[in-house]
Structure 1
Amino acid sequence: MRGMQDSMFIGLDVHKATISVAVADGMRGGEAVQRRGAIRLFTETR
């Protein structure tokens, strides 16, 4: 169970057509970075 002092970081890599999402635990070193996926952006033109 995560305590109140624990942190998690969320990274967003924003591009024209997608946003990639990654998460990392708050510990130093960054070994626990995990790519979680991508969000595809939709735009409508009228």
Structure 2
Amino acid sequence: MNIKGHGPMINSTITHSPSPDFSADLRMQRRARALLSSHKRRLTG
């Protein structure tokens, strides 16, 4: 399995899972990213 650095998760979900799982995964990633950004905002002040 040789995936170059960018988005191993996304590649594996595309190859392995059907579209419902994939969309749910995207939603999870989006939520995680939003949580991360808000957390960073809180940390920086």
Give me the TM-score of the superposition, normalised by structure 2.
Answer: 0.22
Greater relative CO, 1 or 2 (CA 8 Å, sep 6+):
1
Higher strand share: 1
Q: Rg: which structure is higher?
A: 1
Give me the TM-score of the superposition, normalised by structure 1.
Answer: 0.22
Higher helix share: 2
